[in-house]
Amino acid sequence: MESKPKVVVVMPAYNAAKTLRMTYTELPHEVVDLVILVDDGSKDETLQIARELGLEIFVHDRNYGYGANQKTCYREALKAGADIIVMVHPDYQYDPTLLPEIIKPIQDGTADVVLGSRLLGGNVMAQGMPWWKYISNRFLTWVENVTFGLKLAEYHTGYRAYRKDALESVNVEMNSDNFIFDQEIIAQFVHAGLKIAEVPVPTRYFPQASSASLMQSTKYGLSILTVTAQYWLHTHGILRRRQFESLSRRYMAGAAAAGRAKG
């Protein structure tokens, strides 16, 4: 009889005091073995609430960025012996109760990476996504599908699950410390030949949920185009980037990054 895989939820947090408790409470705790929260220099009561909830906490000494937060999340989850790592944003935008559906393709052995897709979960504009975000999402997803040779509904979701081996096979530490991290790691997974699946997830849009401004979204979109161009040049042998090269089956933690967090 095979042993149950250890499921670790990671929460990259920044000023999430208003929504953290709701997010944690609705997690299916019968499925989750450990919840790790990495605080990226919050200025509100995020840490106090996380301690009250009894979470495993790691604290950045300042705000390093969303990508840097994820690096610490995955590093600590792997150290904790995770078999499946699920990123759940503590802003309550994505439904925590759907976690069993998110990890099912990994448990079944049909996927290494699972993305919770808003575009498969109904009318996102009716759910509150601004029209300009919807249009840019559709365009950027088309560009990425052409570049990566896939047919995904979207790439720009924060609800994700990874098999341990998937994270160990790519050079996470070479990715950006900012929001473009999400697309860089997908490019790495594609280059490594990993299986990516999607699960439909409805999304909430409300004032307390984090949402990028038009300026931030524009910068993010341009960064995605840069990543896809770099990936195309790399795969065609024009301009090689070590970032996209697969690693041995061992997690490579950067020495400099390892000093960012303290328990």
CATH of the domain at 167: 3.90.550.10
Closest to 69 measured CA to CA, from 46, 91, 53, 89:
89
Closest to 59 measured CA to CA, from 45, 42, 75:
42
Tell me how far apart the alpha carbons of residues 107 and 188 are, in angstroms, rounded to a whole number: 22
User: What residues have CB less than 8 Å from 80, skipping those under 6 apart?
Assistant: 6, 8, 34, 36, 56
Dump pLDDT digits (tens) for 119-141: 886 666 666 677 677 788 889 99
Looking at residue 259, its pLDDT comes to: 43
Looking at residue 48, its pLDDT comes to: 98
253 within domain boundaries: no
Helices (H) and strands (E) in the chain, counts: 9, 8
257 within domain boundaries: no
Looking at residue 218, its pLDDT comes to: 82
Other Cβ atoms less than 10 A from the Cβ of 210: the count is 15
94 within domain boundaries: yes
Looking at residue 104, its pLDDT comes to: 98
Is the pTM here over 0.75, yes or no? yes
Number of folded domains that form the chain: 1
252 within domain boundaries: no
263 within domain boundaries: no
Looking at residue 137, its pLDDT comes to: 83
Per-residue pLDDT 10s for the chain (263 aa) are: 467 999 999 999 999 999 999 999 999 999 999 999 999 999 999 999 999 999 999 999 999 999 999 999 999 999 999 999 999 999 999 999 999 999 999 999 999 999 999 888 666 666 667 767 778 888 999 999 999 999 999 998 999 999 999 999 999 999 999 999 999 999 999 999 999 999 999 876 555 555 566 677 788 889 999 999 999 999 999 999 999 988 744 434 443 344 455 55
258 within domain boundaries: no
Tell me how far apart the alpha carbons of residues 100 and 111 are, in angstroms, rounded to a whole number: 14
From residue 143, give the alpha-carbon distance in Å to each of 22, 216, 229: 36, 19, 10
Tell me how far apart the alpha carbons of residues 233 and 251 are, in angstroms, rounded to a whole number: 26
248 within domain boundaries: no
Burial track 20-49 (b if 16+ CB lie within 10 A, e otherwise): bbebbeebeeeebbbbbbbbbbbeeebbeb
Q: Tell me how far apart the terminal alpha carbons of the chain are, to the nearest angstrom.
A: 35
249 within domain boundaries: no
Find the domain containing 97 and state its range: 7-243
